[in-house]
Chains A and B, each alone.
Chain A
Amino acid sequence: MDVQVALLLTQDGLTNGAIYALLALAIVLVFVVTRVLWVPQGEFVSYGALTLASLQLGKVPGTVWLLACAGIATFVVDAIVAWRDRRSALAVRSGLSNLLVPAVIVGFALWLAPRNPPLLVQILLTVALIVPLGAMVYRLAFQPLQRASVLVLLIVSVAVHFTMQGLGLVFFGPEGARTPPFTDVRLELGFMTVSGQSLIVIGASLLLIVGLYLFFERTLYGKALRATAVNRTGARLVGISATLAGKLTFTLAALIGAISGVLIAPIATIYYDSGFLIGLKGFVGSVVGAIVSYPLAALGAILVGMLESFGSFYASALKEVIVFTSLLPVLIWLSLRTRHAEEDDEE
């Protein structure tokens, strides 16, 4: 391998690593706030990529119908609870966020999709279609299980992955899609070429990370989530409801997933089931930080990207094996640092 190839592989690795880093951050966020090991993060990625791809072809994306169905289902569940507990305010609020808001987005999408809007509008529409799904997933699957053990939440998380992947097949079909690059610009830096596409991905990831940092440091909601992560009971005692924290967290995770999907769409052909492996690579990254440390998770994810890029050069067929077995030394290292295995389980 000469320097040129190595630089090219590094560029690839960093580009993919930047996306994995976003996913790893979302996975850490969801785990520390809700104790859910968030396996389906990758599904938001494939939804995002496939939605953007449909919009670029001037078609109405399947996400439109998915959002409508999910909104109705969420409202029905809320309405049943509202009727049983005689909480009409709940039904009204749920109607607003699960029927009205999605209806506006859906209507907008139906009107806009065939009109071939500019790329930026397509991206905004993609994000708008996917973000509300986060809170709906939380409401339907996890809100009734706030007190469940990590183990039960993990099994539910995997079940949600099963459902979301199957729904992806229903709403997007089995065909893969790849969007044209955002830009054809290439920068000549000395003896290497940097693609504008890579710069956009890395730049957008950095922007999103800075945005998240500011959200957690500067806003009340961000601080509320941090408080919940540190001490759930304490946060509840000062008036931060676990439900609010959960919905907000899943909304953020969906946002990160949708943007990652938009970013990855021009880089790889995405099928309805591609998100799973992509999400799991984010997971591998997050394990480097024991699924609790943001910086280590991001670092781990970038390492995963590099490993994958160099792995595919040396042994293309075995690149997944290389990426996933790289977890083993990480786990050994974590294991050597830990003195006691601690469990908290209840029945």
Chain B
Amino acid sequence: MSRTEWSRSGLSAAQVLPLVVLLAVAAAPLVVSEFSVTLMNYIGLASLVALGCSLLTGVGGLTSFGQAAFVGVGAYTTAVLTTQYEWSPWLTLPVALVLAIVIALLLAAITLRLSGHFLPVGTIAWGISLYYLFANVAGLGGQTGITGVPPLTLGEHVLNSGREFYYLIWICVVIAVISVRNLLDSRPGRAIRALRAGGAMAESCGVDTGHYRVVIFVYAAVLACVSGWLYAHLIRFVNPSPFSLNLSIEYLFMAVVGGASHVWGAVVGATVLTVLKQWLQDLLPRLIHSSGNYETIVFGMLMVLLLQRARSGLMPLIARVLPIDRKVQVPAVLADATGSAVTPLAQRVRPAAGESLLEVREVVKRFGGLIAVNRVSFEMQTGEILGLIGPNGAGKSTMFNLITGVLEPSSGQVWLRGERIDRLASRRIAERGIARTFQHVQIRPLMSVIENVAIGAHLRRGGSVVGAALRLDRETERALLAEAQRQLIRVGLGDQMFNQAGSLSLGAQRLLEVARALCADPMLLLLDEPAAGLRYQEKRALADLLRGLRDEGVSVLLVEHDMDFVMTLVDRLVVMQFGEKIASGNPAQVQSDPAVIEAYLGGIE
């Protein structure tokens, strides 16, 4: 299997291969039959849509059953405007795109706040509705459709043969694939690739996950719309049937067949399914002795088998036999090794030591009848390491989630430097300088270590999605990755930067999370059992690192079960049991506190 998500060519053989393919694609119309050119045109058109599905489903973990309807928006917009209002086709494209974007934004606004399965449900409804609108509105030609769509013209030249159109389609495909590849290898791209891990990790790094869900949905809609616009001018006729729900399902299948492990997967998926469909439509009716869409049976079974046996699609299998790079992605800017000067990321002004930093006031969290945290209060000062200890189930991790906005307290307040933060979303709290790690490690196992860590620096630079797709973000990339590298070296993972994050030991994965949190340049660092899984020497190194951070003015709130580690490191402790604070003070005080001794060792009957 290819060990990369959307990898970038690294080997020389891997650089040659795309060129060979590109040349073959460029030369194809000169040698193959008219029929093959038509087929390849359809493959190209389907690839555009499937690429969007791949971005949406494979990378982002969202599903749409409305992509064919977006194709229809592109096709019908230009068909109506060119035939009934005699617009130039080149002017209808922006109109179609605006329409598709507006519809995508509306659908996203309605469904994306809900849990994942409502987007597919909403897009099924939209796909069916649009199909029946196309079929039943008189101005759109009804079932018979709209004929006489004009061909595209380039200056004086009219593109009226399939062979000429071929180049236009495939140039669009190549541009689309490169733009998606560029996007994924960037700051917004890392945020998009973090979406599938569930919201908590990305939001804790300040990523607005809702925004990026909308972004990829709109991007997929744009690609589908372009495909529809091209289709209308290639066929010069539109009717409702190519924009039905069944076609949307086929586009999704193409993305599944290709898999999301590689950007070109969508093209592979589109090729396989388009050719297979052509062949089956020829073969099956002869076997069954009647006509009909029997290929759906084979498609359906193929898909079930693929999802049961090879969920990452065909691309990894192809990558095994072809010289496609199998290394983990080295981010483009580092691979280029241009050596140009990097402007370091700006650092937050840290408050002076001894100032009041965090204040938890009478916080309560109920889950139904269970009170996980009951009226707990404590304070932290800047430049302090505070340990939060207690037996399992004491409510320590719940307390972390309350401070970082993953959960909202049932009552009570949390204040950060004079500002109340308990009603803020996670990413707003991240903006204010709190970074955290998780008890159950939250990493993207297929991304490289350095890319995982760079997600932590998300808020320290801006940059648009379009800029990333156009590669206008290289300076930002260099700065972000240099910071990630710096923090990785600091936690002792410098030699594992380009390994797949999932290949690290559990202890190293915890250190990765520490590095990711440090990338956010926090004033307060919340570490949930960072030493679990570390060896003795590694624990000592981690303790030294945390002391070093304290000296720089970073405060640390620490949940940890290793008492040797905790007692020698922290300035003060808060002890929790059954959701309540039972003791606090410096390590010596806490160790002699009778309530603590009873909690840990059990009372005497």
* Interfacial residues, chain A to chain B (CB-CB below 8 A): 37, 140-141, 144-145, 148-152, 154-156, 158-167, 169-170, 173-174, 277, 280, 283-284, 287, 291, 317-318, 320-321, 324-325, 327-328, 331-332, 334-335, 338, 340-345, 347
Interface window among B40-48, B291-299, B517-525: B291-299
The CA of A189 and the CA of B196, in the complex, are separated in Å by 58
Q: Do B297 and A170 touch (CB < 8 A)?
A: yes
Q: Is B63 an interface residue (CB 8 A)?
A: yes
The CA of A69 and the CA of B197, in the complex, are separated in Å by 41
In the A-B complex, list the 4 residue pairs whose CB atoms are closest, starting with the nearest.
A163-B300, A162-B300, A166-B297, A159-B303
Q: A327-B121, A341-B114 are in contact. Are A163 and B301 (CB under 8 A)?
A: yes
- Which residue of chain A is the closest to B308 with respect to CB atoms? A144
Q: Do B304 and A324 touch (CB < 8 A)?
A: no
Q: A166-B296, A167-B297, A340-B199 are in contact. Are A151 and B63 (CB under 8 A)?
A: yes
Interface residues of B in 303-323 (CB under 8 A from A): 303-304, 307-308, 311
Q: Do A145 and B114 touch (CB < 8 A)?
A: no
A residues less than 8 Å from B290 (CB atoms): 173-174
Q: Do B129 and A324 touch (CB < 8 A)?
A: yes
The CA of A144 and the CA of B117, in the complex, are separated in Å by 21
Distance (whole angstroms) from the CB of B328 to the closest CB of chain A: 16
Q: Do B249 and A338 touch (CB < 8 A)?
A: no
Q: Do A331 and B111 touch (CB < 8 A)?
A: yes
Q: Do A163 and B297 touch (CB < 8 A)?
A: yes
Q: Do B113 and A161 touch (CB < 8 A)?
A: no
Q: Do A162 and B249 touch (CB < 8 A)?
A: yes
The CA of A331 and the CA of B246, in the complex, are separated in Å by 23
Q: Do A163 and B132 touch (CB < 8 A)?
A: no
B residues less than 8 Å from A145 (CB atoms): 307-308
A residues less than 8 Å from B292 (CB atoms): 169, 174
Query: A167, A277, A342: which contacts B115 (Cβ < 8 A)?
Result: A342
Q: Do B304 and A320 touch (CB < 8 A)?
A: no
Q: Is B136 an interface residue (CB 8 A)?
A: yes
The CA of A318 and the CA of B295, in the complex, are separated in Å by 30
Q: Mark B110-131 against chain A: 1 for CB-CB distance below 8 A, else 0.
A: 1111111110111011101100
Interface residue tally on B, bucketed by range: 35 or more
Q: Is B283 an interface residue (CB 8 A)?
A: no
Query: A151, A163, A334: which contacts B118 (Cβ < 8 A)?
Result: A334
Q: Do B125 and A324 touch (CB < 8 A)?
A: yes
Q: Do B129 and A321 touch (CB < 8 A)?
A: yes
Q: Do A155 and B114 touch (CB < 8 A)?
A: no
Q: A174-B290, A320-B132 are in contact. Are A159 and B304 (CB under 8 A)?
A: yes
Distance (whole angstroms) from the CB of B6 to the closest CB of chain A: 14
A residues less than 8 Å from B220 (CB atoms): none
The CA of A328 and the CA of B574, in the complex, are separated in Å by 49
Query: B112, B132, B288, B294: which contacts A341 (Cβ < 8 A)?
Result: B112
Distance (whole angstroms) from the CB of A278 to the closest CB of chain B: 13
A residues less than 8 Å from B116 (CB atoms): 150-151, 341, 343, 345
Q: Which of A277, A338, A343 has the most CB of B within 10 A?
A: A343
Q: Do B113 and A335 touch (CB < 8 A)?
A: yes
- Which residue of chain A is the closest to B203 with respect to CB atoms? A340
Q: Do A155 and B63 touch (CB < 8 A)?
A: yes
Q: Do A331 and B114 touch (CB < 8 A)?
A: yes
The CA of A166 and the CA of B294, in the complex, are separated in Å by 5
Query: B117, B126, B129: which contacts A291 (Cβ < 8 A)?
Result: B117
Query: B246, B252, B301: which contacts A155 (Cβ < 8 A)?
Result: B252
Distance (whole angstroms) from the CB of A246 to the closest CB of chain B: 15
Q: Do A328 and B122 touch (CB < 8 A)?
A: yes
Q: Which of B57, B110, B198 has the most CB of A within 10 A?
A: B110
Q: Do A331 and B110 touch (CB < 8 A)?
A: yes
Q: Do B311 and A152 touch (CB < 8 A)?
A: yes
The CA of A334 and the CA of B132, in the complex, are separated in Å by 25
Distance (whole angstroms) from the CB of B295 to the closest CB of chain A: 8
Distance (whole angstroms) from the CB of B446 to the closest CB of chain A: 7
Beyond known contacts A154-B63, A287-B121, A338-B113: 12 more, CB 8 A cutoff:
A154-B120, A159-B303, A160-B300, A162-B249, A163-B296, A166-B295, A277-B128, A283-B121, A283-B124, A341-B113, A341-B115, A341-B199
Distance (whole angstroms) from the CB of B528 to the closest CB of chain A: 19
